[in-house]
Amino acid sequence: MKGVRAAVLAGILGAVGLSGALAEPFTDLPADHRVRPVPKVAQPRLHESYADPVFGVTVRRITDPAQLPGLSRVRHYYSKANPFNADETRAIFHGSDGSSWLYDTRTWTPIKSLRLRSSDPEIQWHPTDPNLFYHMEFVGNSPNVRAFQLYDVRTDASRVLRDFSEYDTARGRLEGNMDRSGRYYALIGKRGDKHEAFVYDVLKDRTSRKHAISEDQADDWISVTPSGKYVVMMGGDRTRVYDIDMNHLRDLPKGSFGHADLCLRTDGSDVMVFDGADLALDGNRNINMADLATGRISILARIGWGTTPHVSCRNIELPGWALVSTQGPDSRYPNHDFEIFWVKLDGSREVRRVAHHRSSRKAGGYFAEQHAVTNRTGTKIVFASNWGGEGPISDYLIELPSGDRGAAKPGR
């Protein structure tokens, strides 16, 4: 176990200095809000690419369920779960049967099925060691997930770092993330009808104070912020903010819930970027931002009422931007329907438009949702698509240049 703790410490020390802001990104991506209809494009075959005819970026298909026997879809987990390991040589995708697959990102071919018992393992890649990830798992004869473990993809060995045996089940509620150093993870423990929120310190193998909550207070998700300063819990009719020791700091306003992620601004402060459908500050549906230090809510960008947006802020080495992806259509404000775009976290309402994803929840259900997710540096975006119902649910990759992170356009 000492070796495991040493690896954890090395990861924390290695990750602490990763937050420096880079040059202004995405300078060649369109920054307007005008309506840009989605033109017809033939679905690419596996490993084929095409140029987005509206925004100019190159999109490559990287998975196909035909790669793996008996599967109807292969895709990443969610907009808040970065699929890439520390050096981006590997990625994890999930099959329609609950399996988890390790892929080689040089060839985009599956290497092997991972030996995970839980179909919702809450995978958190180690911040510096490309061979390790943390996950939640069943332990012993328990019928419920309650153990926090460390998995080595070289050997498929998984060590229990902590069995939260004081609970019937302990979970990060599927959407949480560790802080950027890989030290803290927030969980909800349940025993009988009692629920407690707490933080697990991986380095010191200890928990914070246990904070008793009602079931609905965290019926959506709980997570540590990228800085490791706050814990955010969404449930019921609002979001609640705590410090890392689970002392309550503030409630955000009623209606501060919906698809969201926890993001870093360029000054290092933590914010929550979320769908403002239930907190319409100006009567429209917007992407809102909550300053976790003050509780102040502001508007980042307008979207249509029919867009059902998702947010990704896994770009923790490129603070100051959030990635948004939408469905549609919306009759009143279709300006960003079926789109992937960046929004700047400074209140300027500035956007950088990336691509149309061509996926339809109406035609394919929940797992056809695009759930666009970014890597740590904002240079890679992965999204799912069923091509408007014409093809199987597969994943696609957009790579933005590491210089200005933009792309040549047919027209602005």
DSSP states of 238-298: EEEEEETT--EEEEPPTT--SSEEEEE-TTS-EEEEEE-TTS-TTSS-EEEEEETTT--EE
Enter the pTM of the model: 0.94
Q: Is the CB of residue 256 less than 8 Å from the CB of residue 297?
A: yes
**Encoded tokens for 210:** 């246990």
Q: Is the CB of residue 252 less than 8 Å from the CB of residue 276?
A: no
Q: Which sequence spans correspond to the domains of the chain? A: 48-399
Burial readout 66-100 (b: 16 or more C-beta within 10 A, e: otherwise): ebbeebebbbbbbbbbbbbbbebebbbbbbbeebb
Q: Is the CB of residue 298 less than 8 Å from the CB of residue 289?
A: yes
Distance CA 39, CA 52 (A): 9
Rounded to 5°, the CA angle 407-408-412 comes to 105
Per-residue pLDDT of the chain (412 residues; tens, 9 = 90+): 556 566 666 666 566 554 444 567 899 999 999 999 999 999 999 999 999 999 999 999 999 999 999 999 999 999 999 999 999 999 999 999 999 999 999 999 999 999 999 999 999 999 999 999 999 999 988 999 999 999 999 999 999 999 999 999 999 999 999 999 999 999 999 999 999 999 999 999 999 999 999 999 999 999 999 999 999 999 999 999 999 999 999 999 999 999 999 999 999 999 999 999 999 999 999 999 999 999 999 999 999 999 999 999 999 999 999 999 999 999 999 999 999 999 999 999 999 999 999 999 999 999 999 999 999 999 999 999 999 999 999 999 999 987 444 444 433 4
Rg of the chain in Å (alpha carbons): 20
Q: Is the CB of residue 169 less than 8 Å from the CB of residue 189?
A: yes
Q: Is the CB of residue 82 less than 8 Å from the CB of residue 91?
A: no
The CATH number of domain 48-399, selected from 2.130.10.10, 3.40.50.1820, 3.40.50.11400, 3.40.50.300:
2.130.10.10
